[in-house]
Structure 1
Amino acid sequence: MSDGIHVRGLRLWAHVGVLDFERAEGQWFELDLRLAVDLSVAGRSDALADTLDYSQLITALQRQARSIRCHTLEHYSDSMLDLVEQLYGPVPVWLELRKCQAPVSGFDGVVAVERQRHGPC
């Protein structure tokens, strides 16, 4: 399937990290995700009911970010994949979750995990 819905650059403040202060104070993360879904029906009908409402997903991810407390990007991204599945069922999904400022001395880059579930996107 080549159709998909993309959400790019979603910034989320979450309490995730191995270090105590990361979980206590929180930090910025950035998310890109792709849901593989046939968009042809909605393309013809122009009806929101014929597609996946990405605003529901964005709102749910923002709510999740406010409440999550965990150590690893892997766990946080797994929670995101679970949330997608709760909202839309087992749709193919790909995501990249980036920690915007990893607390590593002398490192000014970005650390990310890439995950997918339910087949290729």
Structure 2
Amino acid sequence: MPLPLSPSRRCTFPWSSTTIRRPVEMTEDCLRLKGLRVTALCGALAEERVRAQPFELDVDIGADLAPSGGSDDLGDTIDYGEVCAAVCAAAEGEQFTLMEAMAQRVAEVCLNADQRAQWVTVEVRKLRPPVPQQLSTSGVRITRHRQ
């Protein structure tokens, strides 16, 4: 069954006469934030709940990027600077027992940051996991969709 098509969007660059049409339900475009470092209270061990540790986050936000690709205007896209600030505030300003809870909170922040966000994938990596083995990172990855 074919998906309904969105209204045509004409690129606004003077050299472009391309009309872009895409299925309404399909949002393969995404804004990617890789390697965002935060220092947060997150862990099941007592020492992890009193001493902040380094974490690294990757965030993919699914949104239709055709409008900003055509207009070259920041107002037509999700401002990743604002998203980074909101993610850091949530991760560093709250306390979590599990990385799953931190990832869930970050996903909520991203979906609430801009109504154009349709889905988000968040990966949280603990950079110094408290295990005796030689483990460079431990982490979780979740994907959430706008309801």
TM-score (norm 1): 0.91
Is the contact made by 2:61 and 2:119 (CA closer than 8 Å) also made in structure 1? Answer: yes
1:13 alignment counterpart: 39
Query: Aligned partners of 1:80 and 1:91: how far apart in 2?
Result: 14
Specify which structure has the bigger relative contact order, considering alpha-carbon pairs within 8 angstroms and separated by 6 or more residues: 1
The structure 2 residue matched to 1:39, chosen from 61, 65, 84, is 65
Q: Which string of whole-angstrom CA distances, capped at 9 and with x for unpartnered residues, describes residues 1-41 of structure 1? A: 33211000001100000011112111011011111111111
The structure 1 residue matched to 2:136, chosen from 79, 102, 109, is 109
Query: Aligned partners of 1:86 and 1:39: how far apart in 2?
Result: 18
1:95 alignment counterpart: 122
Query: Aligned partners of 1:106 and 1:44: how far apart in 2?
Result: 50
Give the gaps of 5 or more residues in structure 2.
1-26
2:13 alignment counterpart: none
Is the contact made by 2:28 and 2:62 (CA closer than 8 Å) also made in structure 1? Answer: yes
Aligned length: 119
Query: Aligned partners of 1:97 and 1:50: how far apart in 2?
Result: 28
1:80 alignment counterpart: 106
Query: Aligned partners of 1:17 and 1:107: how far apart in 2?
Result: 18
2:88 alignment counterpart: 62
Q: Structure 1 residue 25 and structure 2 residue 51: aligned? A: yes
Query: Aligned partners of 1:50 and 1:109: how far apart in 2?
Result: 39
Is the contact made by 2:59 and 2:123 (CA closer than 8 Å) also made in structure 1? Answer: yes
Q: Which string of whole-angstrom CA distances, capped at 9 and with x for unpartnered residues, describes residues 80-118 of structure 1? A: 111112212352111211111110112332111010011
Query: Aligned partners of 1:96 and 1:69: how far apart in 2?
Result: 17
User: Equivalent residue of 2:106, what SS?
Assistant: helix
Give the gaps of 5 or more residues in structure 1.
none
User: Equivalent residue of 2:78, what SS?
Assistant: coil
Query: Aligned partners of 2:106 and 2:88: how far apart in 1?
Result: 10
Q: Which has the higher Rg, Structure 1 or Structure 2?
A: 2
